[in-house]
Amino acid sequence: MIDYTEKRRRMVKEQIEGRGVFDVRVLKAMEKVPRHLFVPEALLDQAYDDTPLAIGFKQTISQPYTVGFMTEALELKGSEGVLEIGTGSGYQTAILAELGKEIYSIERIPELAEQARKALNELGYKNIVIRVGDGTLGLKEFAPFQAIIVTASGPEVPKPLIDQLDEAGRLVIPVGDRSSQNMYRLRKRGGEIIREYLGPFRFVELVGEYGYKE
């Protein structure tokens, strides 16, 4: 019998906190959420390894460190409405649900959205809304958002996401070309956007009207 609780504890200690993520709320959330329930059965033995894993449809579940890094960068306090672009397996969504008030997530692949919805429902989350659609357009009906996280990389920051970001909100997104991307945190201050460089990363492509074309 695999001790997933111990695997999560080690993952957080060695991969997340050990690499510089120190937000206590983020660490506790990642120690709580069962990552193995969001990966394909054939990859269960790799669920807590420090690597992205394929989840089908040419998509991946990000490596644990990347999830922790991006989540910490959102600076969530617990009262925020959060928009996630790219539901994927639903793992990042679950982490956000532990830390924000209301989580709105968009997934362009219906099969992944349904799988994520099922996993999240089975874990009892009640503060998550999942929609199928073009994530680069955001979800205007629920805006403004105090935090937005984009889990795929596009050639630029989609304008609708900037428009839907609340005053003093934070938007974390990787931007670049298909082979090399950089992570940025954008803050809205007095209607102006302040961009902060957070380092190099590698993501699947952000597909949509304001991203790459299929």
Q: Which residues are the active-site residues?
A: 62
| Rg for the chain, CA atoms, rounded | 16
Task: State the distance between the two ends of the chain, measured CA to CA, in whole angstroms.
Answer: 42
For 84, phi then psi, to 5°, come to -110, 130
Is the torsion defined by CA of 111, 117, 120, 121 positive or negative?
negative
Task: Decide: 184 and 196 in contact? Cβ < 8 Å.
Answer: yes
Amino acid, res. 123: L
Give residue 90's Cα distance to chain centre. 9
Neighbour-count burial of 167, counting CB atoms closer than 10 A to its CB (0-12 exposed, 13-18 middle, 19+ buried): exposed
Q: Measured between alpha carbons, how far is 201 from 199 in angstroms, rounded to an integer?
A: 7
